[in-house]
Amino acid sequence: MPHPKERRLLLSHADEPGYTGSYEDYTARGGYKTLEAAIRREPAEIKKEVLDANIRGRGGALFPAGRKWGFLDPNSDKPVYLICNADESEPGTFKDRQLIHKDPHQLIEGMMISAYATGTKLAFIYIRGEMFGGARILEEAIEKARANNLVGENILGSGYSCDLIVHRGAGSYICGEETGLIESLEGKRPYPRLKPPFFPAAKGLYMCPTIVNNVETLCQVKHAVELGGKEYAKIGVPNCTGTRIWSLSGHVNNPGYFEVEGGAYTFGDLIYDMGGGLREGRSLLGFIPGGSSTKVIKYDQRYRGKLQDGTEVDWGVEDIPLDCDGCNYFGSSSGSAAVMVMDDTTDVVMALANLNAFYAHESCGQCTPCREGSLWLKKITHRMIAGEAREEDADLLKSIADQVEGRTICAHGEAVAWPVQGFILRFRDEFIDYARRQARERAAREQETTAAVA
């Protein structure tokens, strides 16, 4: 059952008892009515609605979808492609999976509306390789939609045709980077492309104009068009219109997903109320707010000062609003809205070692700093947890991360660097203590051995 503080738009039927997400269930609740209405309007009008709605990209970069669509050259004579990025694989993030599994037709409707608005004749859902269940659900749903003339030729008699293809990735995190995704869809290694010279909206899939949007973003489009862009924008706050689905995991009693109106509540509400608080006798150490690549926020951080709109605030970490930009004031980002909570029993070195292992494994290997830096970082933290930590490792980790950030083709460089920079910035003393403790233990062991020999 949804938590009382939730406002469910995308997941409004998802957890309804008896709702299976089938075509029949979806249409019984007004499904595809928005597409039916939209397809009778001019594509430019739909585009305007989405622009007015100011839907910020839910994949994590938070770039407004309407503006992204605006980069399409109206005078281009090349085909336009729309790609749904369903390669959800940022650790901690599990919102798109819910949308795909529990209400696939909502995504299809959102996609067909978006396809119509952007003039797409062929759309793809690029789904993560491991989500074979989701791929099967989507394929069945698309077949159903096609049988009902909602996908394919001459949709609902409008004269507009667009096919929709589900493409399964082979299970690589970097395929979620939009140009890596495009390369992968073209059948190549998912090496992210150089940008500039051109961005996907100009030259993307097969060097044609391409729009890549996240699953949640495309589902939001359906609701923005249904409500009207301006009306939709009234939900939430200006920097975060509509709702956001927060994936909550880690040391809380009630982890899960929570769809919350933009900016309506705070991280305190999310952790202590919706998330049921920490376990008995534990206190908050910190949390990673937007997927594992974002920088950790520590329990004792405060922000006193002005927000972008000029408002004076004095926030502790519990006061950070569940919107798009609140975390920025704490040196982090709300990214994909995946909150990982850590209580005071957390071994921070172990936590960072885990993250480093992930980002080293997922580096595509194209650019030098990310390729070599990520594995080096992993090797250091693994040596540390294996009992060979050195006091200077904390600063070395930070220095390596600094040599990666901002120096690579795609944002994976940041994804490698930010967790390290965040952990060292907030927990440097803990890292040094960790090394000292190990040194003491080693010395004690040596003494024991010497004593035994003597």
Partner 1 sequence: MAETNGSDTVTVYIDDEPVVVPKGITMIEAAEHVGKEIPHYCYHQKLSVVGNCRMCLVELGWPMKDRATGEPILEEDGSPKIGWGGKPGIACNQPVAEGIRMRTDSDLVRDCRHGVMEFLLVNHPLDCPICDQAGECKLQEYATEYGRGYSRFIEEKNPKPKRTVLGPRVILDDERCILCSRCVRFMQEIPGDDVLGFIDHGSYSTLTCYPGRELDSNYSLNTVDICPVGALTSRDFRFQMRVWFLKPVDSICTESSVGANTQVWAREGKIYRITPRQNDAVNDTWMTDSGRDLYKQVEAEDRLTTPFVRGIEATPVQALRETERLLRPSERVAVVASTHSSVEEQYFLRRIADRTGAQRYAVRHWGEEDGLLLSADRTPNTRGALLTGLLDELPKPDLRELGAAIDRGEIDTVLCIHEDPLACGLTVEQVRKVAWVRMATHASPADEHAFIALPSLTVFERSGTFINQQFRLQKFRAVVPGPAGLLTDLQQLASLNSLLEDGPVASVQPDHAWKELSAEPGPFAGLRFRTLPSEGVALDPGEHARHPFPERQSLKYEADSFLASLPAATTAS
The site for partner 1 (CB under 8 A) is made up of 172, 189, 191, 194, 196-197, 360-369, 371-376, 379-380, 383, 396, 399, 403-404, 406-409
* Beta strands per DSSP E along 70-153: 80-86, 120-127
- Cis geometry, peptide bond prior to residue 238 (ω within 30 degrees of 0): no
- Report the number of secondary-structure helices (H) and strands (E) in the chain: 15, 13
The H or E element containing residue 425 is helix 412-453
| Nearer residue to partner 1 within complex by CB, 133 or 171 | 171
Q: Which residues pair with 247 in a beta bridge?
A: 257, 338
Q: Report how far residue 374's alpha carbon sits from residue 329's, in angstroms, rounded to the nearest whole number.
A: 27
- Per this entry, what is the length of the chain? 454
Structure tokens that stand for 246 in this block: 């927060």
Instruction: Work out how close the CB of 375 gets to partner 1 at its nearest, in angstroms, rounded to a whole number.
Output: 4
User: Which letter does DSSP use for residue 174 in this model?
Assistant: G
| Nearer residue to partner 1 within complex by CB, 286 or 331 | 331
Contacts of 103 (CB under 8 A, 6+ apart): 10, 11, 13, 14, 21, 26, 219
| Nearer residue to partner 1 within complex by CB, 219 or 375 | 375
Residue position matching structure tokens 């150089």: 194
Instruction: Work out how close the CB of 408 gets to partner 1 at its nearest, in angstroms, rounded to a whole number.
Output: 7
| Nearer residue to partner 1 within complex by CB, 19 or 199 | 199
Torsion of CA 12, 13, 15, 17, to 10 degrees: 140
DSSP per position, 4-23: TT---STTTTTTSTT----H
Q: Determine the 3-state secondary structure of 64 from DSSP.
A: strand
Q: Which residues pair with 212 in a beta bridge?
A: 83
Q: Determine the 3-state secondary structure of 316 from DSSP.
A: strand
Structure tokens that stand for 105 in this block: 């037709």
Sign of CA dihedral 294, 11, 156, 221: negative
| Nearer residue to partner 1 within complex by CB, 164 or 352 | 352
Residue position matching structure tokens 């281009």: 76
| Nearer residue to partner 1 within complex by CB, 158 or 403 | 403
Q: Report how far residue 140's alpha carbon sits from residue 132's, in angstroms, rounded to the nearest whole number.
A: 12
| Nearer residue to partner 1 within complex by CB, 48 or 379 | 379
Largest CA distance in the chain: 93
Instruction: Count the alpha carbons within 13 Å of 30 in the hemisphere toward its beta carbon.
Output: 7
Instruction: Work out how close the CB of 287 gets to partner 1 at its nearest, in angstroms, rounded to a whole number.
Output: 27
Q: Which amino acid belongs to residue 280?
A: E
| Nearer residue to partner 1 within complex by CB, 121 or 189 | 189
| Nearer residue to partner 1 within complex by CB, 294 or 381 | 381
Instruction: Work out how close the CB of 379 gets to partner 1 at its nearest, in angstroms, rounded to a whole number.
Output: 4
Using alpha carbons, list the distances in angstroms from residue 433 to 239, 344, 421: 40, 15, 18
| Nearer residue to partner 1 within complex by CB, 93 or 356 | 356
- Cis geometry, peptide bond prior to residue 190 (ω within 30 degrees of 0): no
* Terminal CA-CA length for the chain: 67
Residue position matching structure tokens 């520590």: 298
| Nearer residue to partner 1 within complex by CB, 194 or 439 | 194
Instruction: Work out how close the CB of 373 gets to partner 1 at its nearest, in angstroms, rounded to a whole number.
Output: 6
| Nearer residue to partner 1 within complex by CB, 109 or 414 | 414
Among candidate residues 49, 361, 384, the one with its CA nearest the CA of residue 174: 361
Instruction: Work out how close the CB of 363 gets to partner 1 at its nearest, in angstroms, rounded to a whole number.
Output: 4
Q: Which amino acid belongs to residue 118?
A: T
